[in-house]
Amino acid sequence: MNNGHHPERLRISDLHQYLHSSGLRNEPQGADSYLNVFESKKRVEEEAEYQAKILREAFPETPDPVEEQNLDLLKHIERMTINLKSSNGFIEVPMQDLAIHCDTILAFARAHIMFKEKNCCALEFSLDSFSIEAVKSFLDTLKGLIRPCDIKDDHILECCQIAHYLQCKCVLDPIVEILINSADGENCKILLQLSDQLNLPRLFERSLSLMMQSLEQTQDVWEDLPSDLRTRIELMKQAIQSSILAGKSRLYFTSLEEYLAMFAETLNYHRERLADAKQRLEETQKQFLVRSRAWEYNKKKIMEQELRVRRLEVVLEKQKRIFSPTNRRSDMEN
């Protein structure tokens, strides 16, 4: 019994349709806000971490071979020290204290342990690009002697670079948050260069946003940037200004590939809506055999949507020609 209603027709969804209906989207949420791509990514990472935690608690007896190897290595270097060579001096610290939190030092210890017979020996690790004061600030932060927000302004950028180089997430992440929150029109040039060198997408997005505003007011910061970074920013600016995606919102992308992918996703979304509308219109005509005013109105709207889709297709092809990696390389060579 369907109580006079037409039974719903079951449709078989292919992979594209499933991803379209169930995948993450970056659609505007209101006139002046949008769902940040990185917030979505962070949410997915948090969910994956939570699932991993549940699995670890449910199956504690299952040993992790990598973790076991790391524990054995940490035990082996328990009494070893490491000399950190800065630009103006050495600092000797227990190797285990660093290896626990710094993946680079852990890998360094693993690579050298086979050549060391004694447990009480010191290795040297070069940080000669950084001052001894910055290295001390990093170590004090790692030990919990000072908070990341208490790092001196003169040392915080170096500490960020040290933490990134040593792959010390527990120090790097808080420093990046501080830099994001402290970014302004005066320091956005330095932060943009830093985020580009270290591949810090959230800091890059924030500093790029401020850079776009600064470019409209002054050329001072623009002229100080490296030529390759200026090229990237200019291309990004063109993408933002010509983007049908943006509307009234200010959308920024960590790469032009991400921008083109989002544009293509939007085009597919409108194509699917157009196909569904055409199908419903055809079904209505077959059912009632008469073209009512509502039918004519819907037909007009479908024609308008079809024109929009065609415009999007033309613009996307133009954007691909402008912003594709191959074309960018050719332009730079010329």
DSSP assignment of 168-220? -HHHHHHHHHHHHHH--TTTHHHHHHHHHHHT-HHHHHHHHHHHHHHHTT-SH
Q: Is residue 277 part of a domain?
A: yes
Asked whether the beta carbons of 32 and 248 are under 8 A apart, the reply is: yes
Question: What's the 3-state SS for 27-40?
Answer: CECCCCCECCHHHH
Give per-residue pLDDT as tens, 50-108. Answer: 887 777 777 665 555 566 677 778 888 888 889 999 999 999 999 888 989 999 998 88
Does pLDDT of 138 surpass 60? Answer: yes
Give per-residue pLDDT as tens, 12-43. Answer: 445 555 445 545 444 444 333 334 545 566 67
As for how many domains the chain has, the answer is 1
Q: Is residue 301 part of a domain?
A: yes
More confident residue, 315 or 9: 315
- Which of the 8 DSSP states describes residue 61? T
Structure tokens at 21: 């209906």
Helix (H, G, I), strand (E, B), or coil: what is residue 151? coil
* pLDDT attached to residue 313: 86
Q: Is residue 288 part of a domain?
A: yes
CB atoms closer than 10 angstroms to residue 83: 14
Does pLDDT of 170 surpass 80? Answer: yes
Share of the chain above pLDDT 90, in %: 24
Q: Is residue 221 part of a domain?
A: no
Domain range holding 317? Answer: 253-334
Q: Is residue 273 part of a domain?
A: yes
Q: Is residue 274 part of a domain?
A: yes
Residues 6+ apart with CB under 8 A from 26: 34, 35, 36, 37, 40, 262
Q: Is residue 310 part of a domain?
A: yes
Q: Is residue 325 part of a domain?
A: yes
Q: Give the H or E element holding residue 91.
A: strand 89-94
Beta bridge partners of 34: 28
